Amino acid sequence: MGNNMQDKVVLVTGATNGIGRETARALAAQGATIVGVGRNPQKCTDAAAQITRMTGNSKVEFLVADLSVQAQVRQVAQTFKQKYNRLDVLINNAGGYFAKREETADGLEMTWALNHLNYFLLTDLLLDVIKASTPARIVNVSSGAHTGAKRINFDDVEFKHGYSGWTVYSHSKLANVMFAYELARRLEGTQVTANALHPGFVATGFGHNNGSLMRTGMNVVQKIAAKKPEQGAATSVYLASSPEVEGVTGKYFSDSKGTKSSAVSYDVDAQQRLWELSEQMVHARVQA
């Protein structure tokens, strides 16, 4: 087991399966203390045991939370701060795809709440401990699907009208990239970096919550064309741990290489407007 991440504390959301679990496992293998977040208590217990068994690293624990619910995001941050006084890497990974429009317990559209507002709020709540742990890193798992969004739909970010699962998913992934860029700009000079990434098309449970027909279809496509989860996690692990990206911030990565995101993602005015809207939707004034 390498020790590149020895004495580092890493929080990974959506870490009970797929990319998140493989990211947590790989960083645990490098010696990091891992704090995973998952929604299902049994899956959290199982993932912690599996990661420890596979890596020999016992510094692995999970917090249980539904990150689509803002009160539970706040509880995760509070519990983390009670146990840890540093956070070297925050990996915002939890997310989902919803073919039909759903609302959270807060009455917000599910995709926007889980895929974007969760990233924004959790980062805000942990930013003080991240800043106290410099040099530190924030990693947003986005997707190449963000290129399918023409812009942030400020008139209707929750898609109360004209909902389409893929359109809404792409829209949330664009928000992930733009949030990373605006965050990086606001954190200039702090030694905290913020980057976004495309993990590739990966064989995970993505989309399996949308009924048996879609689950079957996704299984077939994934068997033919998808990366394995450990391959999909590679760029997240790279951005979390590699000396090559020390100090690199406000960038978008794919296959562990910097690349261009969509043209609209670089709209600074839209990035700032997204930040302000996000503050309103999580009822917080973010001091980044």
Q: Report pLDDT digits (tens) over 155-201.
A: 999 999 999 999 999 999 999 999 999 999 999 999 999 999 999 76
Q: Tell me, yes or no, whether 4 lies in a domain.
A: no
DSSP 61-122: EEEE--TTSHHHHHHHHHHHHHH-S--SEEEE------SS--B-TTSSBHHHIIIIIHHHHH
Q: Residue 3 — pLDDT band, cuts 50, 70, 90?
A: confident
pLDDT recorded at residue 224? 46
pLDDT at 229: 60
Burial of 216 (0-12, 13-18, 19+ CB in 10 A): exposed
pLDDT for 83 equals 98
Please give the pLDDT value at position 200.
Answer: 75
Query: Is residue 2 in some structural domain?
Result: no
Task: Identify the pLDDT of residue 277.
Answer: 98
**One-letter amino acid for residue 150 of the chain:** K
pLDDT band at residue 220, thresholds of 50, 70 and 90? very low
CA distances from 180 to 10, 30, 137, 195, 271 (A): 18, 25, 11, 6, 9
What average pLDDT does the chain have?
91
- How far apart (Å, rounded) are the C-alpha atoms in residues 210 and 89? 32
- For 249-273, how does the pLDDT look when each residue is reduced to its tens digit (9 = 90+)? 999 999 999 999 999 999 999 999 9
Any domain includes 170: yes
The residue annotated as part of the active site, out of 169, 181, 238, 252, is 169
The pLDDT value given to residue 201 = 61
CATH code, 209: 3.40.50.720
Say if residue 1's pLDDT is above 60.
Answer: no
Residue 3 lies in a domain: no
At 35 the pLDDT is: 98
Average pLDDT in the 214-233 region?
53
Q: What is the pLDDT of residues 28-49, one digit of tens each?
A: 999 999 999 999 999 999 999 9
pLDDT of residue 202: 47
pLDDT of residue 262: 98
* Residue 221's pLDDT band (cuts 50, 70, 90): very low
Residue 23, domain member (yes or no): yes
Residue 171 covered by a domain: yes
pTM of this structure: 0.90
Domain span at residue 142 reads 9-282
pLDDT, position 4 = 87
84 carries an active-site annotation: no
**Rounded (to 5) percent helix, strand, coil in the chain:** 50, 15, 35
Segment 194-212 mean pLDDT: 65
Q: For residue 145, is it within any domain?
A: yes
Which H or E run contains 196? strand 192-198
Please tell me the total count of domains within the chain.
1
